[in-house]
Amino acid sequence: MIEIKKSPTSKIDKTNFDNLVFGQVFTDHMMECDYKNGEWQKPVIKPYGPLSLDPSARVFHYGQAVFEGMKAYKDKDDKIWLFRPEENFNRINRSSERLAIPEFPKEYFFNALVELLKLEKDWIKKGFGNSLYLRPFVIATEPGVSASAAKEYKFMIICSPAQAYYSGEVRVKFSEKYSRAADGGVGYAKAAGNYGAQFYPTNLVKEEGFQQIIWTDANSHEYLEEAGTMNIFFRIGDKLITAPTNDRILDGVTRKSVIALAKENNIDIEIRRVSVQEVIEAAENNELMEIFGSGTATVINPVAGFGHKDKKFELPKLENSYASFFKDKLMKIQYNEAEDKFGWRYEVK
């Protein structure tokens, strides 16, 4: 179904797999599928290379663009696995709908993933933490600077080899002025514009010694929502709490997997609004045990401390944290080293 144009050369021998910076190196091939004349054309896998676009292409002017993040894993027997890819497929189409981008066909998505991964299998290294990060994305390519939905798009998948993601200790600041998303806006979508809008406020908190922001609701800044590239969990005593998804918060695949694992393992989990006040009170009473983020790139990212207004709090360093429990559980499923009770693994063959 898919057309494959193989690259005559490979960059793999020039790639240092022991020293990968996240999202910087790309494999030899990419998938490209154009939408025009009212339908998605035949997908093509071809050598990775630059896109040629008119300077008036809608994506440059009106941010009509969405994406996904996924990973492929190689197990000890060289089998290749994806983790809940149907979730990513469904979500990119939910994102597309909100951005007025036409839905992408399911068979194209899975066929492209499988063929691309078979071609790039040597780029997926074995070993806990190694993976091939996959970036499906859609951009509006139609030329013309009138502010309306484009009639031409490109759906692409590019692949980047990744090692375990460790960015040092992460301290987060609770947002009290800036916001990520409005009620009735596009916060639930993986819309390109949601990310660029976070860079400036994040740079401001970096100057204060934090690495990321935990976004609060735009109306009151009293409720903790998500971290922009991660959903956020709070552990107070032995209870785990995370905000419910809504039209401001991304419905994270790792988030919902953590919730399922918590339930399976009889960890008390509450999905409800989390107030800034209760988290600060818990920290002051030494009941706040952990904060961690969840996301495809990071899997589970423990938070070492947080700030709110002028106050800074450090979190305890636990021997048996929920963060490490879930990270281990998730990765064992992802790498085919544990039973897959939920049917989350998808073998690429």
Q: How many other C-beta atoms can be found within 10 angstroms of the C-beta atom of residue 56?
A: 12
| Residue 173 to residue 175: CA distance in whole angstroms | 6
Q: Is 143 in the site for its own copies (CB under 8 A)?
A: yes
Q: Is 168 in the site for its own copies (CB under 8 A)?
A: no
| Residue 93 to residue 101: CA distance in whole angstroms | 8
Q: Is 60 in the site for its own copies (CB under 8 A)?
A: yes
Burial of 251 (0-12, 13-18, 19+ CB in 10 A): middle
Q: Is 256 in the site for its own copies (CB under 8 A)?
A: no
User: For its own copies, which is the closer residue by CB, 225 or 290?
Assistant: 225
Q: Is 160 in the site for its own copies (CB under 8 A)?
A: yes
**Residues 188-217 interacting with its own copies (rule: CB under 8 A):** 191-200, 202-203
Residue tagged 């054309």 (tokens): 41
Question: From the CB of 177, what's the least distance to its own copies, in Å?
Answer: 5
Q: Dihedral, CA atoms, 150, 155, 158, 164, nearest 10 degrees?
A: 90
Burial of 149 (0-12, 13-18, 19+ CB in 10 A): middle
Task: Select from 33-41, 85-93, 173-181, 252-260 the region that touches its own copies (CB under 8 A).
Answer: 173-181
The residues facing 321 across adjacent strands are none
DSSP-derived secondary structure letter, 190 = -
* Residues in binding contact with its own copies, number by CB under 8 A: 71
Among 89, 133, 335, 346, binds its own copies (CB under 8 A): 133
Q: Going by C-beta distance under 8 Å and a sequence separation of 6 or more, which residues neighbour residue 8? A: 47
**Residues 268-297 interacting with its own copies (rule: CB under 8 A):** none
**Can you read off the two tokens belonging to residue 173?**
């600041």
Among 228, 293, 302, 307, binds its own copies (CB under 8 A): 228
Q: Is 110 in the site for its own copies (CB under 8 A)?
A: no
Q: Is 93 in the site for its own copies (CB under 8 A)?
A: no
**Can you read off the two tokens belonging to residue 328?**
């281990």
135 close to 110: Cβ distance less than 8 angstroms: no
User: For its own copies, which is the closer residue by CB, 1 or 21?
Assistant: 21
Give me the 65-84 binding string for its own copies, x by CB under 8 A, dash otherwise: x-x-----------------
Burial of 326 (0-12, 13-18, 19+ CB in 10 A): buried
User: For its own copies, which is the closer residue by CB, 221 or 239?
Assistant: 221
Q: Is 145 in the site for its own copies (CB under 8 A)?
A: yes
Among 156, 170, 276, 282, binds its own copies (CB under 8 A): 156
Question: From the CB of 235, what's the least distance to its own copies, in Å?
Answer: 25
| Residue 216 to residue 76: CA distance in whole angstroms | 42
Among 3, 5, 6, 23, binds its own copies (CB under 8 A): 23
Amino acid of residue 66? V
Task: Select from 33-41, 52-60, 105-113, 122-130 the region that touches its own copies (CB under 8 A).
Answer: 52-60
Question: From the CB of 24, what's the least distance to its own copies, in Å?
Answer: 5
